Structure 1
Amino acid sequence: MEEDPPGPPPPRTCCSATLKQVVCGFIVSAGMVQAGVVTGWPAVLPDLQNDTSAAFNITNDDVKWIVSCTSIMGMVTNILAGSLMEWIGPRLLLSLLLMPASGFWLLQCFAPNLAIFYIGRLGGGFIASVFTTLTNPLLAELVEPDLRGMLSCLPELVVSSGVLVVYVLSYVLPWQVVTGLCAVPFLPLFCLSLLIPESPFWLVRKGRLQEAEVALQKLRDPRKNVARDELPSIRTSIMSHPQTTVMDQIKQLKVDYHAKPVILLVAIFILRELGGQLAVFSYTVYLFQKAGVDIDVFTCTILVGIVRLLATATSSVLVDRLGRRPFLFGTFLVCGIAQTTGGAFLLADIPGTSWVPLVAVLVFVLAYGLGVGPIPWILLGELIPTPVRAIGASICTFSFCASQFFVGILFPELMATLGLGGSFLLFAGANFLTSIFTFVILPESRGRTLHQLQEIFSTRTSRRPLINVASDEASEELSGSN
């Protein structure tokens, strides 16, 4: 696969435009707190299992289904998410789902039986999955290229913050209070989301060019002529491949340079989940209990949350300096090394070394927060071509949820069969494989516009059929310069 050389660096964004786009990025990303609290909330399950006053009982078998059921909902949701984004608009869809998020948490908090509790958990997983699908593509379409890397780390930073907050609350408060507090952020977030313009790419796809120009101007330097400098490139990316429906986008997936980046990202997301991140972040308390560390297991859990948050914050500063590809390769490699070390010491069971698995987990979390966690979502917003952006994001997130469910439901059985040490070694193998895969296959996307990124997977020396969805006929497109 040949890569186009990076274009000239884009002009720097002025301070006022930078501030507007940073605020926009924070508001759009804030919805991902739902994904964070959904991921971290299982830390309350030991307390819920021991609560004799609860309206229902939680068995060990229930635990794995409570952890994993949100991934089932995510698989179902992502069949619909692309259609919803294309029909309603990604920003409007974000706003509409913020209020029900609170309702589902309150449903879990006051559930009179286990069935109602599961409905609340599944509903929360549905909303988290939609936010996961739309947030990074929406961010990529709202902000300028020189800010895209930094701001695209914000969703993962919000997820890490949500995980840490739930870990801390689980240590000091009863499970029911923690569950109720998870409902608090979404009313103010709903109000703030109304200040964000709709995606200009979506507006252009709908033929609403004047609204797209207004949306761009809200977030750009007031002196910039977006109708001349930016809107034409968006129209070039979209209007040359006209589409209005998900079926149109499915037809565009027949074009190999539209399908290749989607397949690449699907592979990265599946391999990443097989590396065991869900086991670390959702089974955290149970994991440290099984490892037999000398420190209080909730203290260890909070350390995991702190390290992840700090690492993700650091990633937002480094990702545009080091590049996506080398950063992702290095952090997958470190994750594999950490898991191999921790797994080996757990299997050897050497007296006085119970601290080694804790350190290994913290090193894994550090590497995850730096690159493995945020960068695939950045790539989701950058590499999927505009003609298949909604359906491509849905396919990738579906793969993420399916593999996450697979790991979540099987991890307790893996521990019973292989032990925690053997499970760590198995996860390490997946991380080593992913590091090699990203080094060999993944192109660099740093500093490129979405229009330039759309051309990365096109071979310059060949003629390729382009699906014209308006006429259902294949036309010929000359690749390369004329």
Structure 2
Amino acid sequence: MEPMKLDDKKNKPNKNFLLATVISCNLGSFASGILLTWTSPVLPKLNNATNVDSNPLGEPINLIQESWIGSCLALGAIFGPLLAGFTADRIGRKNTLVYCAGLPFLISLLILAFAKTPFLYYVARFLGGFGIGNLYTALPMYFGEISEASIRGAVSSSMNVFICLGELYAYAVGPYVSIMLFCLSCAVFPLAFILTFFFFPDSPYYLLAKDKMRTAEKSLMRLRNRTKSGIQQELKMMQRNVEEEAVNRGSLRDIFKSKGLRKALLICLGLVSFQQFSGITVVQFYVTNIFEATGSSLSPDVSAIIVGIVQLLASFSTPILVDRLGRKLLFLMSAIGMVISEVPLGIYFYLKDGGTDVSTLGWLPVLSLVAYIITYNLGFGPLPWTVMGEVFPSNVKSTASMITASVCWALGFLVANLFPIIAEAMGKGGTFWLFSGFCVLAAIFTALFLVETKGKSLQEIQKELNK
């Protein structure tokens, strides 16, 4: 009887190895968060006309150079999903994450550490964005395929938490060290991701799709920390899913043939469009510049750190609320909350630029941006990707994901590139009112078009979309 007890013990799920895998992967998420907000502490140094010693370019950058340094990351991210959708099925999820995300992150940060010309900044930012596009496409796929159903939501949402941690690192460290030292310290994280992830297995789903049954079996045994007999039922279920997907694999044409899939694509494209037009890319890229422009008595660097801490804390709220309140209500609360937070921010800048004394209102921009970050993370930050995973069947999910992610980053590039120019022409007040107007449209779009997916099967969702 003793050997039987031992075997039962081994077959009990032990999530330590899976946890280690998730942490290793999320070193890449952490690096992506740094790259997203890298401009926030660095641009003030590149714009510094009084202390050019802190500027490796030797002279302040102009408005056009600033807009391109900010937006080249989003430009690179447009192309990442197009490659990841291809390589994830050819060389595997693991190799895609290492070579198409981790390696570009590392090269990008090393170039940024030693760059002496704006052109090298453009190249490095493009490379970093390319890696982000790959990571944001392949990592959710990998997490979904290595996790048990009971913890899939928690594993997937961990990505957003680590992104926020990376953003906070950039806000907290970047302002207080040289650009070179900041970038070299940041490069440690993608390097650690590359080195540690080599020790973890590829997705069992991918291995089964490549007819590598024994390797898939070993992968699942390690991820579940169980014996061979303990993973057979799950392995057989995975095998059936892989075989069904191989038979029913869809294409872009299949999406446009179906009324329900066309509506699903419209919903996803609408959600990511309003996500970008809410102004999040501007807040991530230029938050220190925004606080500097307020003239508040609170240091711009400290204000940015406050925003980073709030964003990290807010990232924990959605996983808790999404299955209780539903997707649609959270999207509506998010859109309305962003309107309420951006309108007063626009008023503050309008009064300040008009010559009104706003010294007694120094708290308003900090409060407004904190409220914006909280409400953004409540819905329009993480949930468009959740909805995308629910409204498309598995046979067209890869194609739909590539389209949605590329459109998202194309709009992010447009917003980031035009913000310095529009803010110069309209004033920052008018720009934030413009963003708040898009948030009003986002609320209307949500109310009219978004279907509630909470607690519904794929068949039920497709039935509702086909009405």
Same fold (TM over 0.5): yes
Q: Which amino acid aligns with 1:262?
A: L
Partner of 2:82: 79
Q: 2:62 aligns with which of 56, 59, 62?
A: 59
| Alpha-carbon distance between aligned partners in 1 of 2:12 and 2:278, rounded to the nearest angstrom | 40
In the TM superposition, 1:419-430 aligns within 5 A as: 419-430=427-438
Shift of 1:274: 0.4
Q: 1:330 aligns with which of 330, 333, 340?
A: 333
Q: Is the 8 A contact 1:204 1:238 kept in 2?
A: no
- The answer to whether structure 1 residue 407 and structure 2 residue 415 are counterparts is yes
Q: Is the 8 A contact 1:104 1:121 kept in 2?
A: yes
Gaps (5+ residues) in structure 2?
1-10
Partner of 2:32: 35
Partner of 2:163: 159
Q: Which amino acid aligns with 1:119?
A: V
- The answer to whether structure 1 residue 373 and structure 2 residue 381 are counterparts is yes
In the TM superposition, 1:12-161 aligns within 5 A as: 16-43=13-40, 44-50=42-48, 52-53=52-53, 54-55=56-57, 57=59, 58-97=61-100, 98-161=102-165
In the TM superposition, 1:454-465 aligns within 5 A as: 456-458=461-463
Q: Is the 8 A contact 2:69 2:122 kept in 1?
A: yes
| Alpha-carbon distance between aligned partners in 1 of 2:335 and 2:409, rounded to the nearest angstrom | 20
Q: Is the 8 A contact 2:328 2:452 kept in 1?
A: yes
Partner of 1:181: 185
Q: Which amino acid aligns with 1:261?
A: A
Q: Is the 8 A contact 1:56 1:114 kept in 2?
A: no
Taking structure 1 as reference, are residues 212 and 135 closer, same or farther at Cα in structure 2, changes over 3 Å only? same
Q: Is the 8 A contact 2:272 2:384 kept in 1?
A: yes
Taking structure 1 as reference, are residues 188 and 461 closer, same or farther at Cα in structure 2, changes over 3 Å only? closer
Shift of 1:348: 4.7
Shift of 1:444: 4.2
| Alpha-carbon distance between aligned partners in 2 of 1:15 and 1:340, rounded to the nearest angstrom | 54
| Alpha-carbon distance between aligned partners in 2 of 1:441 and 1:178, rounded to the nearest angstrom | 44
Cα deviation, 1:339-373, whole Å, max 9, x if unaligned, reads 12322344355642232222111100122233332
Taking structure 1 as reference, are residues 238 and 29 closer, same or farther at Cα in structure 2, changes over 3 Å only? farther
Cα deviation, 1:158-195, whole Å, max 9, x if unaligned, reads 11111111111122112221122111112221232234
Taking structure 1 as reference, are residues 438 and 214 closer, same or farther at Cα in structure 2, changes over 3 Å only? farther
In the TM superposition, 1:338-357 aligns within 5 A as: 338-348=341-351, 351=358, 352-357=360-365
Q: Is the 8 A contact 2:69 2:125 kept in 1?
A: yes
Taking structure 1 as reference, are residues 233 and 86 closer, same or farther at Cα in structure 2, changes over 3 Å only? closer
| Alpha-carbon distance between aligned partners in 1 of 2:72 and 2:137, rounded to the nearest angstrom | 18
| Alpha-carbon distance between aligned partners in 2 of 1:252 and 1:356, rounded to the nearest angstrom | 50
Taking structure 1 as reference, are residues 255 and 201 closer, same or farther at Cα in structure 2, changes over 3 Å only? farther
Q: Which amino acid aligns with 1:48?
A: L
| Alpha-carbon distance between aligned partners in 2 of 1:183 and 1:369, rounded to the nearest angstrom | 27
Q: Which amino acid aligns with 2:432?
A: F
Q: Is the 8 A contact 2:80 2:129 kept in 1?
A: no
Gaps (5+ residues) in structure 1?
1-13, 463-482
Partner of 1:284: 287
Cα deviation, 1:65-84, whole Å, max 9, x if unaligned, reads 00001111122333322112
Name the SS for the 1:32 alignment partner.
Answer: helix
Aligned residues: 443
Percent identity between the aligned chains? Answer: 26
Partner of 1:468: none
Shift of 1:276: 0.3
In the TM superposition, 1:423-438 aligns within 5 A as: 423-438=431-446
- Select the structure that is richer in helix: 2
Q: Is the 8 A contact 1:69 1:122 kept in 2?
A: yes
Structure 1 residues 376-385 or 412-421, which shifts more? 376-385
Q: Which amino acid aligns with 2:33?
A: G
Partner of 1:397: 405
What is the TM-score normalised by the length of structure 2?
0.85
| Alpha-carbon distance between aligned partners in 2 of 1:77 and 1:327, rounded to the nearest angstrom | 29
What is the TM-score normalised by the length of structure 1?
0.82
Cα deviation, 1:430-481, whole Å, max 9, x if unaligned, reads 2232233334433444566xxx43662246999xxxxxxxxxxxxxxxxxxx
Cα deviation, 1:419-439, whole Å, max 9, x if unaligned, reads 222211211122232233334
